[in-house]
Chain A
Amino acid sequence: MKTIQSKYDVVVIGSGPAGLAAAIAAKKEGAEDVLVIDRDLEPGGILLQCIHNGFGLETFQQDLPGPSYAQRFIDEAVGLGVELLLDTMVLDITSQRKVTVSNRFMGIADIDARSIVLAMGCRERTRAQIRLPGFRPAGVFTAGTAQRWVNVEGYMPGSRFVILGSGDIGMIMARRLSLEGAKVERVLEIMPFLTGLTRNYVQCLNDYDIPLQLSHTVNRIIGKNRVEAIESVQVDERWNPIPGTSEIIPCDTLLLSVGLIPENELSKKAGVRIDPITGGPYVDDTFQTNVPGIFAAGNVVHVYDLVDWVTEAGLASGRSAARFATTVRNSEIRHIPLVAGENVRYVVPHELDKDNLANGEIRLQLRVKTPIEAPTRIEVSDGENLVTRKVEPYARPGEIITLTISPRAYDDVQRAGRLVVSAVKR
């Protein structure tokens, strides 16, 4: 029987890469007691089903599979004395930072937290959200559900697949299923460009001779009980099907890799404001939400490309949460907004405390709206004067762009009422 305290300095919700990093950083920053809550039986979050490699290139300069990457952080957290409360669902969070949980061994319990880190990650977009027409048979799964079956439970959910969406999970599953002897007929992508990472296209589709069709989608799911085929169709630039381009592709399974949505139902219960563009909370440069003492990090804020960056955000939010829990707070915070300017879909954080720039650089992450396949200037200005800039070799919506504001820009930022970030062709 697991016993826990009724009060913690820092409670972290979710034990994926963001949550584990936050807990470790909070402990190192001086938080006395740190609790990580997860609904699964094991810590690690979705990394546990990501048995492919490619994790940790930035953090450890090593190419690790997901479970190995997670284990390093689990070991470190446990070594530091972080408590884990597993197989437990958080039912509610209040703006006063009371966390209500439910599990088999404690029943319903309330936990008071001095600060909270939201690290619930994201969920997959479903067929309903893209209004996929046709029947509703067995055999239409999100790529992540199929990944759990194949990699964790050891079952194959089909033998002839079509994958809709060129997101990373979909491409990785295409390779995984091929290795398990399944036939992946095709990957369809409604956008005129790849939405996942180019390296995944090369390693997962190209190397396995799996055709990718851009500007194509599923027009109809065929089969009343189990998928029997799908009808694909080419679309125009407004995503409308082009008559005469449909094709019936026999298959028994349709996997959907059509986007991820930050999982913020709990955040909303606590009064956390959500950015409709990212689907995640508005955060400042310390990863604090609009609710004092509630922080958020990782895919719950916006969907990242690389786990290393999720870890980095988790570490930063954990440090902030520990400081909030253990120190007297400076009541005067001088926030200025960060605004998405030309060809920028969103930028995180949404605002920053001007004083924090004295303590070190502040990192911004953004996605562009439309691809630019040429050197691109990423600029931060106060609306008139340039504050900082960098040049990227290209800018694609599928790949996050990172930019730092260095303490050298301190004076410029003090004068600014807001900062505008833009991405334009050089």
Chain B
Amino acid sequence: MPQNYDVVIIGGGVVGCMTARFLSRTSLSILLIEKDADIGMGASSANSAIVHAGYDPVPGSLKAKTNVAANAIWDTVAGELSIPFDRRGDYVVAVGSEELPGLEKLLEQGRQNGVPGMHIISAEEMRHREPNINPAVSGALWAPTGGICDPFMATVAAAENAVQNGVTLLLETAFEGFILDGRKVAGVHTSRGDFGCRWVINAAGMYADAVMHKAGTHPEFKITPRRGEYMILDKAEITINNVLFPVPSEKGKGILVTASLHGNTLVGPNAQVLDDPEDTAVTREGLDDTWSGARKLIPGLSPRGVIAVFAGLRAMGNAPCKTPGVDYHHDFLIECDAEVQGLINLGGIESPGLTAAPAIALMVMDLMKEAGEKLEYKRSWNPIRPPRPRFHELNREAQDALIRQDPRYGRMICRCEEITEGEIVAEIHAPIPARTYDAIKRRTWLGTGRCLGSFDMPRVVEILSRELGVSPFEITKKGHNSAFLQRETKNLEA
């Protein structure tokens, strides 16, 4: 007899986790399943970390609608969930006079989408606001509602709040198929057995099309992986305090140069269409593309400053925009499935998916209501996810007080990002325990600095082993088949 839930959400990315979090306000019983060893290991862990203003998506599209709606509530969501977020505004920078008309077009598009406060500034003003900008700048579009966030914590915080409010999370649990009652959802088969349910929310990211096809719906829908490669530059090298986009082309928003919340500069992504939905390898050519794109905006960037490179995949869909008269074929798919009752599809959620996630979650609730589900709000729902202390964000007095309370905050494990043993232990024992090196990295930013974890790695393996009560040989970087250590020395037979 399978365990029953009202709702099963497939996929623990930012969209699935935000949906779980908003739905946790209702009396529905919810199961969130994730195939990997941690939440947020896909696109949610490798993106530009931008909360977009919303001038970029095609007017009338769901991308535009959810982007602008979500942007307006990001302060509330980030405040409730303690997600690091800084609404510092963003720029689209025109280089050379030929790019100036592009700014006008974006400004008009932004107005149609309902983006507040935008205006075009002069080249001189742009040079003043960003002294490192390409001297050939011809003007810029300023959007004060743009911002930067911590995408890892957005996912973790949403999931954690969901779990605090009664959602069940199962990691390393892969969706394998539907249990259908005619054309109605009755449950799911997973790698951990069957679960009964009335609703399935398909937030499977790169595999959203495969989930639909398992239900026998949307045979035409296809996710195309589009890889983007990024570089992170050391905070010590050149300080960029702004979020700078180039004028977009047909290929997308282009390669941006942006401040990060951790003081480093992030550049990227390029865009390359692939077949393999797991191919997050960085390439020589891709990094070259990214580098030349970044240098177009900030010519003074030095390759010496590069401290990390990574690649992320965007789940580009092929859903046509449903607004009459809008010719656009890569829109978000957000719908109650027309053929399978109880299935909600969230497909093709590429950029601005991180920004839009809270609005997508609210749309899901509306879709369920429209389909006749009575959503009753729990009085006990607590929207607040309390933050955990971050040593390097505290002043000296607060640091001192924290160490006196728990001496483990006095032991520095990651010297570059100043992450202490106390923070690591807190994440290992959090509501969603961090059980791998990368899980700790995503939650604390440990190992993301200039030494890339060379110093902290042996210490983190030791702490994980001690706190989880398992042998160091079982400690992995990212789950299955990614252990750090193989055997003891002088013990060849073992």
Q: Which A residues are within 8 Å of any B CB, using their own CB?
A: 39, 87, 89, 91, 100, 102-108, 123-124, 126-129, 131, 133-139, 141-142, 144-145, 148-150, 153-159, 180-181, 219-221, 224-226, 241, 252, 265, 268, 276
Tell me whether B454 and A108 are in contact (CB under 8 A): no
Tell me whether A149 and B284 are in contact (CB under 8 A): no
Tell me whether B484 and A138 are in contact (CB under 8 A): yes
Chain B 379-413 interface 0/1 with A at a Cβ cutoff of 8 Å (1 = within): 00000000000000000110111011001101110
Count of chain A to chain B residue pairs whose CB atoms are closer than 8 Å in the complex: 142
Which B residues between 466 and 481 are near A, CB-CB below 8 angstroms? Answer: 472-473, 476-481
A/B interface sample: 20 pairs, CB < 8 A: A39-B412, A89-B415, A91-B418, A104-B408, A104-B411, A108-B403, A126-B454, A129-B304, A133-B281, A133-B282, A134-B281, A136-B282, A144-B454, A148-B458, A155-B486, A219-B284, A220-B281, A224-B280, A225-B479, A252-B486
Q: In the bound complex, what is the Cα–Cα distance between A100 and B462 (angstroms)?
A: 27
Tell me whether B410 and A123 are in contact (CB under 8 A): no
Known A39-B415, A129-B307; contact A226-B483, beta-carbon cutoff 8 A: yes
Main secondary structure of the interface of B (DSSP, over half): mixed
From B307, B437, B454, give the contact of A142 (CB < 8 A): B454
- Chain B residues within 8 Å of chain A by Cβ, number: 59
From A102, A128, A131, A224, give the contact of B412 (CB < 8 A): A102
Asked whether any CB of chain A lies closer than 8 Å to the CB of B455, the reply is yes
Known A102-B399, A108-B400, A268-B236; contact A138-B308, beta-carbon cutoff 8 A: no
Tell me whether A225 and B482 are in contact (CB under 8 A): yes
Q: Which A residues are CB-close (under 8 A) to B487?
A: 155-156, 159
Tell me whether A104 and B410 are in contact (CB under 8 A): yes
Q: Which 4 A-B pairs have the closest CB atoms?
A: A138-B477, A104-B407, A104-B410, A89-B412
Tell me whether A226 and B485 are in contact (CB under 8 A): no
Q: Which A residues are CB-close (under 8 A) to B365?
A: none
Asked whether any CB of chain A lies closer than 8 Å to the CB of B220, the reply is no
Q: Which A residues are CB-close (under 8 A) to B492?
A: 180-181
Tell me whether A105 and B410 are in contact (CB under 8 A): yes
Residue of A nearest to B479 (CB): A225
Tell me whether A126 and B284 are in contact (CB under 8 A): no
Q: For the A-B complex with A156-B485, A252-B486 known, give 8 more contacts whose Cβ atoms are closer than 8 Å.
A: A127-B452, A133-B284, A135-B280, A141-B457, A145-B457, A154-B488, A155-B486, A221-B281
Tell me whether B486 and A158 are in contact (CB under 8 A): yes
Tell me whether B287 and A137 are in contact (CB under 8 A): no
Asked whether any CB of chain A lies closer than 8 Å to the CB of B120, the reply is no
Known A102-B410, A104-B410, A145-B458; contact A126-B489, beta-carbon cutoff 8 A: no
Asked whether any CB of chain A lies closer than 8 Å to the CB of B451, the reply is yes
Tell me whether B482 and A137 are in contact (CB under 8 A): yes
Q: Which B residues are CB-close (under 8 A) to A105?
A: 407, 410
Q: Which A residues are CB-close (under 8 A) to B281?
A: 133-135, 220-221
Q: Which B residues are CB-close (under 8 A) to A139?
A: 484
Known A133-B281, A226-B481; contact A155-B407, beta-carbon cutoff 8 A: no
Q: In the assembled complex, how far is the CB of residue B314 from the closest CB belonging to chain A, in whole angstroms?
A: 18
Q: In the bound complex, what is the Cα–Cα distance between A395 and B268 (angstroms)?
A: 42
Q: Which B residues are CB-close (under 8 A) to A124?
A: 451, 454
Tell me whether B415 and A128 are in contact (CB under 8 A): no
Q: In the bound complex, what is the Cα–Cα distance between A288 and B307 (angstroms)?
A: 29
Residue of B nearest to A219 (CB): B284
Known A104-B411, A107-B399, A131-B306; contact A149-B283, beta-carbon cutoff 8 A: no
Q: Which A residues are CB-close (under 8 A) to B485?
A: 149, 155-157
